Structure 1
Amino acid sequence: MRPAGLVMLSLALAGCGFRPLYLENGAPAAGAPQQKASIGRELAGISVQLGATRESILLRNNLIFAFTGGGDDSANPVHRLDYTIIKSASPFTVEAGSGRQSAAFVTIQVTYQLLRIGSLDPVFRGRAIGRASFDKPAQRFAAIRAERDAEDRAVGDVSEAIRNALASYFVQKSQSGS
């Protein structure tokens, strides 16, 4: 029963036209054009703007790491990624006796656009939102550290969403031949 099920699953998936996002030199799905360049090279050719806030610097570092696999910012960029960050924190539980906030959410919202170097017209726009909760203990330093850790997690979620959206954009671009 088990081998027969695997064979049936393989046959079903073989005809669906599924194509892995990061396929480099493999055979394309039926009817799909061969990718002109790998998605990794496209992502590595993105220069990320330098921000002034702690969250924007963390986002930039996460994106550079995601785009280059741990390398430095692109020396010869083809695209530039501009973004704006809005950070907010809101309480969601309050202790009944003291009225003290005991837990909160941090929300990081990033609106971004990808531009070709030398052009002012964006080729891709998007928005990503990351949200993380944290406990807010009575100790001041512990509360600050907990909020900062939540910000880091939210920025990590946002940078992953941006990377995935841009990778999908480059896949669609290569399949359309533009």
Structure 2
Amino acid sequence: MARIASIGALALVALALAGCGFTPLYGRPGVGAALSSVQVSAPTGRAGQLMREHLDDALSRDSNLKPQYRMDLQISEQRYPRGIRVDNVATRYEYVLTAAYTLVSTASGKTAKVGRVRVEVTYDSADQPYASVAAQQDAQDRAAGEAARKIELELATWLASAKS
């Protein structure tokens, strides 16, 4: 009986959403295709490489298509010691990744959108050097992935509002 009631409740929610004009972000025509036609040019360095890889994955970059947009990225990284021990050694660090992007139309060469995202992650600093380096690299990867997700959502929202 509880299963039938939950199915009925889901059906009512679906009807309510359909009646209010709700449209999924990726349900707008052209948003997915426009996202996959963004070519990312990232700065050199580990963080730039990670950002480009995560953005190519997030935007589902199709290398067979001619890009409609080029995204130029500027990345800044900062690391702050947190959790200071009595002997003045940090046990945790806060890693801050800021990515400023400019989306340029390849057809006209004009700037289409400018944005900036900021991601903060923390990681433990171990006494063993290799473990500390591995933790820092993991924090860079997590921050780049989160920044790419934020940029993807900003671009999808912008494209959906521009297409409507």
Q: TM-score normalised to the size of structure 1? A: 0.81
Residue ranges of structure 1 left out of the alignment (5+ in a row)? 25-34
1:1-178 correspondence runs (5 A): 2=5, 5-6=9-10, 8-23=12-27, 35=29, 38-68=30-60, 73=63, 75-96=65-86, 98-175=87-164
Query: Larger RCO: Structure 1 or Structure 2 (Cα < 8 Å, ≥ 6 residues apart)?
Result: 2
Question: Aligned partners of 1:47 and 1:113: how far apart in 2?
Answer: 11
Residue ranges of structure 2 left out of the alignment (5+ in a row)? none
Identity %: 28
How much has 1:99 moved relative to structure 2? Answer: 1.5
Give yes or no for contact 2:92–2:123 (8 Å, CA) kept in 1.
Answer: yes
RMSD: 2.0
Question: Aligned partners of 1:149 and 1:10: how far apart in 2?
Answer: 40
Structure 1 residues 10 and 77 mapped into 2: Cα distance closer, same or farther (>3 Å)?
closer
Structure having the higher helix fraction is 2
Q: TM-score normalised to the size of structure 2? A: 0.87
Amino acid aligned to 2:57: F
Give yes or no for contact 1:132–1:154 (8 Å, CA) kept in 2.
Answer: yes
Question: Aligned partners of 1:74 and 1:60: how far apart in 2?
Answer: 17
Give yes or no for contact 1:83–1:113 (8 Å, CA) kept in 2.
Answer: yes
Amino acid aligned to 1:128: V
How much has 1:4 moved relative to structure 2? Answer: 6.2
Give yes or no for contact 2:42–2:51 (8 Å, CA) kept in 1.
Answer: no
Question: Aligned partners of 1:141 and 1:16: how far apart in 2?
Answer: 54
Moved segments of 4+, more than 4 Å: 3-8
